[in-house]
Structure 1
Amino acid sequence: MFKEKKFDYKESLPQYLEDLVSDLGLDVIFEAASNKDEFTYKVIKTGILLSLKDKEEVIYRQNVLKDCINNKETVKAMYELSIEAIKKEKESLFGIFIKHPDSIVYSSRQVLEDFFDILKKLKNIILESELNFRSQGFQLFFSRIKTKLSDEYLDRVDSILKHLRFEDGISISSKLNMSAKPSFFQIMYPKKEKQSFLKSILKSKSAYTIYIPERDEGGFRALSELKNNSLNKIANILANAVYYLLDFFNQLKVELTFYLACNQLYEKLQEIGISLCFPVIYSQSERVLSFEDLSEPSLALVKKGLVVANRLCVNYKDLVLITGANMGGKTTFLRSIGQACLFSQCGMFVAAKSFEYSLSSGIFTHFKRQEDKTLKSGKFDEELKRLSNIVDFLKPHALVLFNESFSSTNDHEASIIAKYITEGLIEKKIRIFFVTHLWEFASLINKENSNNVMFLKAQRNPDGTRTFKIIESKPQAKSYAEDLFKKIFNKE
Structure 2
Amino acid sequence: MKALLMHPDRDFDPDREIAAHADDLVQDLALDTLLDSMAANDGFLRKIAHAALLAACDNDTDTVCYRQAILKDCLEHRAVVEELYRFTVDTLEAKRTHYYGVFGHYPPAILHGAIEVLGMFVERLRTLKATADTHASGFRSSGLERFFEMVKTELSDDYLCSIQHHLKEARLKSGVLISATLGEGNRGHRHVLREQLDKRPRWVRQLMDPRSHAYRFRIPERDEAGARALSELEGRGINLIANALAQSMDHLNDFFVMLRTELAFYIACLRLHDRLKTLDVPLCFPDLYTVGTRRLAFAGISDVCLALEMEHTVVGNTLNLDDKDVAIITGANQGGKSSFLRSVGVAQLMMQSGMFVAAESYAGEHCNALFTHYRREEDVTMNSGKLDEELNRMSRLVDAMSPGSLVLFNESFASTNEREGSEIARQIVCALHEKHIRVFFVTHLYAFAHDLYETATARVLFLRAERRDDGTRTFRVMPGQPLQTSYGKDLYDQTFAGRDGASKDVPGA
- SS for the counterpart of 1:44 is helix
Within 1, Cα distance between the matches of 2:42 and 2:243? 36
Aligned length: 488
Give the counterpart of 2:47 among 42, 46, 52: 42
- SS for the counterpart of 1:400 is strand
Within 2, Cα distance between the matches of 1:478 and 1:55? 42
Q: What is the match of residue 111 of structure 1?
A: 117
Cα pair 2:66 2:142 within 8 Å, conserved: yes
- How far 1:77 sits from its partner (Å)? 1.9
How much identity, in percent, do the aligned residues show?
A: 40
Aligned ranges for residues 211-222 of structure 1 at < 5 Å?
Answer: 211-222=218-229
Q: Which amino acid aligns with 2:7?
A: F
Aligned ranges for residues 15-414 of structure 1 at < 5 Å?
Answer: 15-51=20-56, 52-94=58-100, 96-177=102-183, 179-192=185-198, 205-414=212-421
- How far 1:276 sits from its partner (Å)? 0.4
Within 2, Cα distance between the matches of 1:110 and 1:339? 47
Cα pair 2:73 2:139 within 8 Å, conserved: yes
Within 1, Cα distance between the matches of 2:336 and 2:481? 17
- How far 1:178 sits from its partner (Å)? 5.3
In structure 2, the CA distance between the partners of 1:90 and 1:485, relative to structure 1 (3 Å rule), is closer
Q: Which amino acid aligns with 2:373?
A: H
For normalisation by structure 1, the TM-score amounts to 0.95
In structure 2, the CA distance between the partners of 1:224 and 1:479, relative to structure 1 (3 Å rule), is closer
Cα pair 1:456 1:473 within 8 Å, conserved: yes
Cα pair 2:463 2:480 within 8 Å, conserved: yes
Give the counterpart of 2:439 among 420, 432, 443: 432
Within 2, Cα distance between the matches of 1:147 and 1:54? 29
- How far 1:192 sits from its partner (Å)? 4.1
Cα pair 1:282 1:357 within 8 Å, conserved: yes
- SS for the counterpart of 1:284 is coil
Within 2, Cα distance between the matches of 1:163 and 1:93? 19
Give the counterpart of 1:467 among 474, 477, 495: 474
Within 2, Cα distance between the matches of 1:165 and 1:178? 32
- SS for the counterpart of 2:186 is coil
- How far 1:201 sits from its partner (Å)? 5.5
Cα RMSD, aligned residues only: 1.9
- How far 1:478 sits from its partner (Å)? 2.3
Unaligned runs of 5+ in 1: none
- SS for the counterpart of 2:189 is strand
Within 2, Cα distance between the matches of 1:108 and 1:26? 42
Within 1, Cα distance between the matches of 2:84 and 2:189? 46
Q: Which amino acid aligns with 2:51?
A: T
- How far 1:481 sits from its partner (Å)? 3.9
In structure 2, the CA distance between the partners of 1:156 and 1:485, relative to structure 1 (3 Å rule), is closer
Cα deviation 1:305-347 (Å, max 9, x = unaligned): 1100110110110100111010100000000011001101111
Cα pair 1:94 1:108 within 8 Å, conserved: no
Within 1, Cα distance between the matches of 2:32 and 2:208? 79
Q: Which amino acid aligns with 1:100?
A: Y
Within 2, Cα distance between the matches of 1:481 and 1:301? 28
Cα pair 2:181 2:188 within 8 Å, conserved: yes
Cα deviation 1:254-287 (Å, max 9, x = unaligned): 1111110111101100111111011001000211
Q: Which amino acid aligns with 2:177?
A: S
- How far 1:165 sits from its partner (Å)? 1.6
Cα pair 1:366 1:403 within 8 Å, conserved: yes
Within 2, Cα distance between the matches of 1:53 and 1:436? 31
Cα pair 2:406 2:437 within 8 Å, conserved: yes
Cα pair 2:108 2:238 within 8 Å, conserved: yes
- SS for the counterpart of 1:63 is helix
Within 2, Cα distance between the matches of 1:385 and 1:131? 56
Cα deviation 1:158-191 (Å, max 9, x = unaligned): 0000111222222222333354333322222323
- SS for the counterpart of 2:324 is coil
- SS for the counterpart of 2:300 is strand
Question: Which segment is superposed worse, 6-15 or 335-344?
Answer: 6-15
Cα deviation 1:197-236 (Å, max 9, x = unaligned): 9xx9689633334322212223212211110010111111
Q: Which amino acid aligns with 2:432?
A: L
Cα deviation 1:134-156 (Å, max 9, x = unaligned): 11111222222222212111111
For normalisation by structure 2, the TM-score amounts to 0.92
Question: Which segment is superposed worse, 88-97 or 284-293?
Answer: 88-97
Question: Which segment is superposed worse, 79-88 or 298-307?
Answer: 79-88
Q: Which amino acid aligns with 1:333?
A: F
Q: Is 1:476 matched with 2:489?
A: no
Q: Which amino acid aligns with 2:82?
A: K
Cα pair 1:94 1:111 within 8 Å, conserved: no
